[in-house]
Structure 1
């Protein structure tokens, strides 16, 4: 049975024989796994068996553990990580065999990255999906993110003005981990009072001497030297390069839409609100649009995408590539710089 993340609690009492938690959003996946663990503890599943389909893994390991008598508890939660979201031929057979006769004292939780549509049509997946629950962990976007954020704010009993919510939406859409941390920190700062737009802006500025938001403002303004200085400071402070890249990517996506409208003589007035660019920052975008051509913005977006892909594949920080990308916010750099080679 396929469900959405906000429906999971409805399917935890009693626990299903199997839960399939696949997707690329780490926050939703982690929250789902934690919720299943918590429900399992409440229902007497005191032992947790964790396995991962790595190079040393054998499907017989899972079968033996599943069939073995527990020394500690009569009820066990089995957690199986599939790093490729594919169990393979042997794994498919093993899973079908294990769950051919569900055991109410054992629950199987399988998790991994986004599963391909064709994999959801395989025999093993359809059989397990029929027995239990499939939760695709997809990052909410647009109106879905607005609802998700509103729900998180409500859970923390936080009071925000409409403008304050708009800033959080604009800053954190696509990054649920950062959004959740921001909401919890705001709760500590103002547990009972109404939080205004000005207070949120001040809080964002106070997060770090050199913040990612200051960096993107510098890039939009064309202040390359200060931007590079901030990049060095962010690296020294231990900020993950992927977070910085995500914010730059977000700005480039906005610039693409704005520049496309500008080049076709469309008014930008109707785009500010959908792109969640509040009035205070609009002059920054106007500066960037006056300097950069559509082709240059597209080239930067393509380079940023390559940096992201390279970082995910090799699992390395990419600060030199980020610095190169920052320089490209100066149109002269497109003629003077040779594209930086990645791996």
Structure 2
């Protein structure tokens, strides 16, 4: 069965532990909380022993996992076996091991064996339809698949309201909006702020002013999110985040490494797309995760390949300005303003004239 993270806790409380669970998705907080809920339920039901396998590379020994499934426990009749699969791709050998375990669990259940001796918990940071296969279908057949997808911008306020209700916090719509503005989609920061509100808010309903006084500006004004905002077409957001970085005392040269790297990456993708090449292969070559490809595709749709090359040139100019290395004939300029112009041009086709 496939579940959303918010349904998992209720489902766990309504039944005995299943033989297998898969928790996967690009939102770390939701993956962590779902996995913690499964671990806690397993402990409650007597699964006192826990084994952890990290399948984070091609050298992982799948035979060791298979042997653990088959070996009797020395310490507890019931065990939780946790498989950490960051890429969400077990490969042929791993898929066979997982599917084989699930088949054995299914046979045991049909024979009336009662509660499974082993609960398998698989966690993955990357997930899409392409990741699934017979192995994940086998897990769904004997347990649950929990997909922890990122909370979309238009869903964030509802997510915050739900989480605050769970913590006993009531807030007006304007207050929830203010909190959403503060956390900027960073669910870990949002969860921390909600937990703090549960301690500090007291009785009554929070209004916007009270919310403002209680929460810190938890928005993650880091360069990674700055570039993501520009690539996603969020010009105003990128400008606001850049202002936040400046206010925090960051220096332009410290930001430009990531900016240049990302623009070079998109320019390479644009060149492949322009000549009708294999974009999927280039995504793989550029090490772009499946969960982030949609952002790059939206960015590619906004500008032709030649303009992406121009953006790379602009980034070089910004870096020179920031380091005081203005070329002969160039006028000294404000590096922060030049970087803002570049990011807005990346985000907004109508501002392409800013690229010169």
1: distance between equivalents of 2:56 and 2:43? Answer: 27
Gaps of 5+ in 1: 234-240, 246-293, 308-319
Query: 2:169 — aligned with what?
Result: 158
Q: Distance in 2 between matches of 1:223 and 1:38?
A: 41
- Structure 2 counterpart of 1:6: 6
Cα distance change of structure 1 residues 219 and 68 upon mapping to structure 2, 3 Å threshold: closer
What's the TM-score once normalised by structure 1's chain length? 0.62
Seen in structure 2, the aligned counterparts of structure 1 residues 222 and 51 have a Cα distance that, compared at 3 Å, is closer
Is residue 132 of structure 1 aligned with residue 135 of structure 2? no
How far the C-alpha of 1:15 sits from its partner, in A, is 1.2
2:81 to 62, 67, 78: 78
Count of residue correspondences = 253
> Are residues 324 and 11 of structure 1, via their aligned partners in 2, closer, same or farther at CA, if it must alter by over 3 Å?
farther
Cα offsets for 1:76-108 (capped at 9, x unmatched): 011101122111111111112222221611111
1:37 corresponds to which residue? Answer: 39
Correspondences of 1:165-314 after superposition (within 5 Å) = 165-172=176-183, 174-204=185-215, 212=221, 228=246, 230-232=248-250
Larger CA deviation: 109-118 vs 86-95 = 109-118
Give the whole-Å Cα distance in 2 for the aligned partners of 1:74 and 1:303.
61
Q: Which moved more, 1:35-44 or 1:65-74?
A: 65-74
Q: Distance in 1 between matches of 2:241 and 2:129?
A: 43
> TM-score scaled by structure 2?
0.60
Structure 2 counterparts to residues 116-127 of structure 1, below 5 A: 116-120=128-132, 122-127=133-138
CA gap 1:61/1:230 in 2 versus in 1, 3 angstroms: same
RMSD over equivalenced CA pairs, Å: 4.1
CA distance in 1, matches of 2:162, 2:70: 41
Q: For residues 113 and 325 of structure 1, what CA distance do their matches in structure 2 show?
A: 35
Deviations 1:134-157 (A, max 9, x none): 111102225533332111110111
Give the structure 2 partner of residue 87 of structure 1: 90
The CA deviation at 1:115 is 2.3
Q: Deviations over 1:277-315 (max 9, x none)?
A: xxxxxxxxxxxxxxxxx99xxx99x989xx9xxxxxxxx
The separation in 1 between residues aligned to 2:156 and 2:175, in whole angstroms, is 15
